């Protein structure tokens, strides 16, 4: 990978802290170091199979993977709700591997929100402060402060059963944040919400994190959500970390087929022969540039150009349109090249979009080709 | 104009429909309650204010005799016997209900922690004994607690009871019988309360700096209160009026209010006195219900405790 690309990838495209809120940032943030974490349930279920992971202070870090990959177990170990069979966990320079949850300066936003139905919203928000022994007056002041920060408005005076899903989500977030933990853990906090509210709360959550500068560890199975939110992502599968990197790195340069498929890539082709930069796959021969030494070729659909008719040239492939999905802003094509299919995404600039059955030429840029291992 | 003409008739038609609906649904229940609760109670009330006749049957004139007898005033001056019976009933109710809570709470919790497929079976195990006749089960306890049985022998060797006295008959035997008998009535509502509880809330409490003990006290216990109060009502009210258990396990000194009332209608033959005792029981029950309802509203937060 080139120097410039690395720099570009490391630069998070999300939301920067606003100047007058910088005092809130840098208030408190802890790094996390995990070493050799193992966790087994029963005799046969391996949840974590030796996880080594460093999370930086103030980072929005996402654990991404399919269900059963170990991401929730890892989060629960961070919270102290689960004890690892082996390995160490260091938060903010302190070894907390065997510290019980109520003695960790770590708070969690639970997937089910886990608000206390027998308490008012205000008492829910004050719960952690009360358990810490803060006097009532200070508790109230802090609750009012967080309510204003999260813009809860008059929700504070409501009862829990009067809240909608989105409101519950925000109360759960506020209840954890008001304790000013070193690390905030979020267990698929948006999964129960409908799409519109979900993307709205994604932005809100990201803003809160940037403004507070707090370390967030976020669990999700949704790669789009992970890419929008995260400074860095760890992709997990079968209790192992597959790749750690910034969203662009994980999406554009997946290390293996699992990561590539999980990030939504379908155009993966085994390389049958290789001569320097000339790669042979079932698509034909292609010239690649700086593609790495993997045995699997990845072609991202959005890097492809389609020309009408047959056009000769290097890295030009002749294909037939098998399927076209018109999406308004863009169109997705399933192209047939011999017996092999290739997905292509083309931005809709109002020009000709090839029809089903039409013959087209696919132009592949050498620098967009990436190889990875199986 | 047309609006004001249409609206009232539409509304009144809806009202007629609603009234008819109400009439159809409420009448059978109201009829039932009237025939089998209001009428007998009124009859009992009447009997209580009549005078005791030659064969224990009520007769005119109206008087407060039976209430005076109930309070302990007889031909030979005041005697504390009835007062003791009332206090014993209250005490037995209090102690046995408290013990039922102590025993049932962990059982109900344990069942909710078991796998879902085992839970109905475990609940069944709690309930099945109550499908046997109460008298037979109480006889069973008689045989277990009588003098000379292993349990009694153990109690004697530990010095808990006098030699050859046995654990039965005694007030202890009555308490034991009550606890045993009413356990399912506490386990079931408590199980209902536990089952509704999201285990993530316990984790949330611990995550929010509550030690396991405080997590229980602040996050779990308050949520089981509705079930607990419902269970207390289900146990305490029938325990207070219990007849069979003190009759069989209590002996002469274990008598409760239910036995006092029953005796007046059977052996001692004083219907007015029995009726007065029944009314006293009814009043005490209403008072207890009222207190529990108030308590339920205060402790249960917004949640109404259905009794």
Average pLDDT over residues A168-193: 91
Q: What is the pLDDT of residue A251?
A: 95
Summary mean pLDDT of chain A: 88
| Chain A CB contacts of B215 below 8 Å | 102
The minimum CA-CA distance between A112 and chain B, rounded to whole Å, is 8
| Number of neighbouring beta carbons within 10 Å of residue A287 | 15
Q: ∠A163-A169-A174 over CA atoms, to 5°?
A: 105
Q: What is the pLDDT of residue B7?
A: 56
CB–CB contact B301 A118 (8 Å): yes
> By the CB < 8 Å criterion, does A107 face chain B?
yes
CB–CB contact A101 B198 (8 Å): no
Residues of chain B contacting A, Cβ within 8 Å: 198, 200-201, 203-212, 214-215, 218-219, 222-223, 225, 300-303
CB–CB contact B207 A119 (8 Å): no
Confidence of residue A3 (pLDDT cuts 50, 70, 90): very low
d(CA A123, CA A139): 10
Q: What is the pLDDT of residue B88?
A: 86
| Number of neighbouring beta carbons within 10 Å of residue B37 | 10
Please check whether residues B78 and B218 belong to one and the same domain: yes
Please check whether residues B27 and B161 belong to one and the same domain: no
> By the CB < 8 Å criterion, does A110 face chain B?
yes
In a domain, B286, yes or no: yes
Q: What is the pLDDT of residue B183?
A: 93
CB–CB contact A102 B222 (8 Å): no
> By the CB < 8 Å criterion, does A96 face chain B?
no
| Chain A CB contacts of B200 below 8 Å | 110-112, 114
Please check whether residues B187 and B77 belong to one and the same domain: yes
Please check whether residues B70 and B139 belong to one and the same domain: yes
Q: Between the CA of residue B25 and those of A249, B19, B39, B109, B112, what are the distances in Å?
A: 69, 10, 21, 38, 37
Q: Which residue has the higher pLDDT, A153 or A242?
A: A242
Residue A291's nearest CA partner among A365, A373, A363, A371 is: A371
| Chain B CB contacts of A103 below 8 Å | 209
CA-based nearest residue in chain A for residue B208:
A128
In a domain, B164, yes or no: yes
Please check whether residues B115 and B159 belong to one and the same domain: yes
Q: What is the pLDDT of residue A20?
A: 42
Q: What is the pLDDT of residue A28?
A: 65
pLDDT in tens, A325-373: 999 999 999 999 989 999 999 999 988 899 999 999 999 999 999 999 8
Please check whether residues B80 and B30 belong to one and the same domain: no
Please check whether residues B95 and B11 belong to one and the same domain: no
Q: What is the pLDDT of residue A52?
A: 94
Tell me the CATH number at B193. 1.10.3720.10
Average pLDDT over residues A62-68: 93
| Chain A CB contacts of B225 below 8 Å | 118
CA-based nearest residue in chain B for residue A127:
B208
* Residue A195 scores a pLDDT above 90: no
Average pLDDT over residues A230-242: 94
CB–CB contact B200 A116 (8 Å): no
Contact call for residues B100 and B92 (beta carbons, < 8 A):
no
Count of structural domains within chain B: 2
| Chain B CB contacts of A100 below 8 Å | 206, 211
Please check whether residues B193 and B258 belong to one and the same domain: yes
Please check whether residues B15 and B106 belong to one and the same domain: no
- CB neighbours of A179 closer than 8 A, spacing ≥ 6? A105, A107, A128, A129, A132, B208, B209
CB-closest option in A101, A116, A161 to B207: A101
First to last CA, chain B: 50
Domain A3-257 and domain A268-372 have a common topology: no
CB–CB contact A114 B218 (8 Å): no
Q: What is the DSSP string of A353-373?
A: -PPTT-EEEEE--GGG-EEEB
- Report the share of chain A in percent with pLDDT over 70: 93
> By the CB < 8 Å criterion, does A128 face chain B?
yes
CB–CB contact A118 B222 (8 Å): yes
Confidence of residue A320 (pLDDT cuts 50, 70, 90): very high
Please check whether residues B13 and B72 belong to one and the same domain: no
Angle between helices A121-131 and A165-177 (to 10 degrees): 20
| Chain A CB contacts of B223 below 8 Å | 116-118
ipTM comes to: 0.81
The minimum CA-CA distance between A104 and chain B, rounded to whole Å, is 8
Average pLDDT over residues A27-48: 87
Please check whether residues B164 and B234 belong to one and the same domain: yes
In a domain, B306, yes or no: no
| Chain B CB contacts of A159 below 8 Å | 302
Contact call for residues B174 and B250 (beta carbons, < 8 A):
yes
Return the bridge partners of A341, or none: A336
Which residues constitute the domain of residue B249? 66-299
The minimum CA-CA distance between A210 and chain B, rounded to whole Å, is 23
The minimum CA-CA distance between B184 and chain A, rounded to whole Å, is 26
Domain ranges of chain A: 3-257, 268-372
| Number of neighbouring beta carbons within 10 Å of residue A96 | 21
CB-closest option in A79, A118, A161 to B223: A118
B51: helix, strand or coil: strand
* Mean pLDDT, 10 residues at a time, chain B of 307 residues: 55 84 89 92 87 77 80 76 84 92 92 88 90 86 82 78 75 88 92 88 93 91 88 89 84 81 80 87 88 76 50
The listed CATH number (1.10.1760.20, 3.40.50.300, 3.40.630.10, 1.10.510.10) that belongs to domain A3-257? 3.40.50.300
Q: Which residue has the higher pLDDT, A111 or A7?
A: A111
Residue A364's nearest CA partner among A309, A321, A302 is: A302
Q: What is the DSSP string of A51-92?
A: EEEEE-TT-EEEEE--TTSSHHHHHHHHHTSS--SEEEEEET
The minimum CA-CA distance between B218 and chain A, rounded to whole Å, is 9
CB–CB contact B207 A106 (8 Å): yes
d(CA A209, CA A205): 6
CB-closest option in B203, B209, B223 to A81: B203
In a domain, B57, yes or no: no
Q: What is the pLDDT of residue B159?
A: 72
The minimum CA-CA distance between B299 and chain A, rounded to whole Å, is 10
| Chain B CB contacts of A171 below 8 Å | none
Q: What is the pLDDT of residue B165?
A: 73
Instruction: Give the CATH superfamily of A268-372.
Output: Nucleic acid-binding proteins (2.40.50.140)
pTM for the model stands at 0.77
- CB neighbours of A333 closer than 8 A, spacing ≥ 6? A306, A321, A322, A323, A324, A325, A343, A344, A345, A346, A354
CB–CB contact A179 B209 (8 Å): yes
CB–CB contact A107 B207 (8 Å): yes
Please check whether residues B73 and B14 belong to one and the same domain: no
CB-closest option in A108, A116, A161 to B207: A108
Average pLDDT over residues A291-320: 90
Helices and strands, number each (H, E), in chain B: 14, 4
- Report the share of chain A in percent with pLDDT over 90: 64
The minimum CA-CA distance between B111 and chain A, rounded to whole Å, is 21
CB–CB contact B206 A175 (8 Å): no
In a domain, B188, yes or no: yes
The minimum CA-CA distance between A115 and chain B, rounded to whole Å, is 7
């Amino acid at each position: 990978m080139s120097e410039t690309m690395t720099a570009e990838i490391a630069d998070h495209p999300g939301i920067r802290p606003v100047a007058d809120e910088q005092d809130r940032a840098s208030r408190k943030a802890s790094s996390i170091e995990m070493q050799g974490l193992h966790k087994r349930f029963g005799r046969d279920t391996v949840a974590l199979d030796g996880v080594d992971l460093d999370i930086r202070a103030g980072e929005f870090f996402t654990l991404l993977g399919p269900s059963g990959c170990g991401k929730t177990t890892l989060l629960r170990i961070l919270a102290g709700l689960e004890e690892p069979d082996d390995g160490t966990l260091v938060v903010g320079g302190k070894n907390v591997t065997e510290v019980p949850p109520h003695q960790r300066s770590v708070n969690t936003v639970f997937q089910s929100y886990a608000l206390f139905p027998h308490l008012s919203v205000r008492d829910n928000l004050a719960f952690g402060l009360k358990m810490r022994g803060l006097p009532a007056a200070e508790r109230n002041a802090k609750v009012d402060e967080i309510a204003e920060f999260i813009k809860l408005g008059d929700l504070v005076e409501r009862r829990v059963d009067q809240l909608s899903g989105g409101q519950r989500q925000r109360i759960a977030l506020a209840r954890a944040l008001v304790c000013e933990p070193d690390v905030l853990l979020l267990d698929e906090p948006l999964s129960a919400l409908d799409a519109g509210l979900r993307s709205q709360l994604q932005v809100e959550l990201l803003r809160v994190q940037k403004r507070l500068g707090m370390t967030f560890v976020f669990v999700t199975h949704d790669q789009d959500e992970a890419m929008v939110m995260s400074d860095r992502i760890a992709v997990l599968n079968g209790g192992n970390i597959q790749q750690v990197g910034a969203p662009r790195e994980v999406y554009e340069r997946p290390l293996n087929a699992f990561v590539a498929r999980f990030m939504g890539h379908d155009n993966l082709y085994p390389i049958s022969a290789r001569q320097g930069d000339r790669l042979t796959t079932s698509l034909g021969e292609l010239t690649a540039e700086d593609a790495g030494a993997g045995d699997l070729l990845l072609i991202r659909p959005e890097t492809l150009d389609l020309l009408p008719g047959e056009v000769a040239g290097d890295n030009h492939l002749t294909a037939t349109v098998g399927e076209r999905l018109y999406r308004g802003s863009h169109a997705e094509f399933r192209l047939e090249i011999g017996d092999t299919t290739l997905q292509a995404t083309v931005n809709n600039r109002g020009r000709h979009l090839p029809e089903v059955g039409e013959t087209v030429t696919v132009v592949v840029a050498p620098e967009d080709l990436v190889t990875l291992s199986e | 104009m047309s609006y004001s003409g249409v609206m009232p008739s539409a509304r009144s038609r809806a009202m007629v429909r609603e009234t008819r609906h109400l009439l159809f649904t409420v009448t059978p229940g109201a009829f039932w309650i009237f025939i089998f609760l209001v009428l007998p109670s009124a009859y009992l009330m009447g009997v209580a204010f009549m005078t005791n006749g030659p064969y224990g049957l009520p007769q005119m004139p109206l008087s407060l005799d039976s209430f005076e007898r109930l309070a302990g005033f007889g031909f030979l001056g005041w005697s504390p016997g009835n007062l003791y019976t009332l206090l014993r009933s209250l005490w037995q109710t209090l102690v046995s209900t408290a013990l039922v809570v102590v025993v049932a709470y962990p059982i109900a919790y344990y069942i909710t922690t078991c796998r879902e497929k085992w839970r109905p079976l475990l609940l069944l195990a709690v309930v099945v004994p109550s499908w046997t006749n109460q008298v037979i089960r109480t006889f069973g306890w008689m045989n277990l607690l009588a003098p000379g049985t292993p349990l009694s022998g153990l109690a004697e060797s530990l010095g808990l009871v006098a030699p050859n006295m046995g654990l039965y008959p005694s007030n202890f035997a009555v308490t034991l019988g009550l606890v045993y008998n009413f356990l399912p009535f506490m386990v079931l509502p408590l199980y209902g309360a536990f089952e509704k509880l999201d285990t993530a809330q316990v984790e949330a409490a611990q995550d929010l700096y509550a030690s396991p003990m405080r997590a229980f006290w602040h996050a779990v216990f308050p949520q089981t209160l509705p079930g607990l109060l419902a269970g207390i009502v289900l146990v305490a009210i029938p325990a207070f009026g219990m007849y069979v258990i003190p009759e069989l396990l209590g002996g002469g000194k274990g008598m409760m209010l239910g036995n006092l009332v029953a005796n007046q209608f059977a052996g001692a033959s004083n219907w007015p006195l029995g009726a007065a005792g029944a009314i006293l029981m009814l009043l005490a029950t209403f008072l207890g219900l009222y207190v529990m309802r108030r308590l339920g509203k205060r402790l249960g937060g917004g949640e109404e405790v259905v009794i």
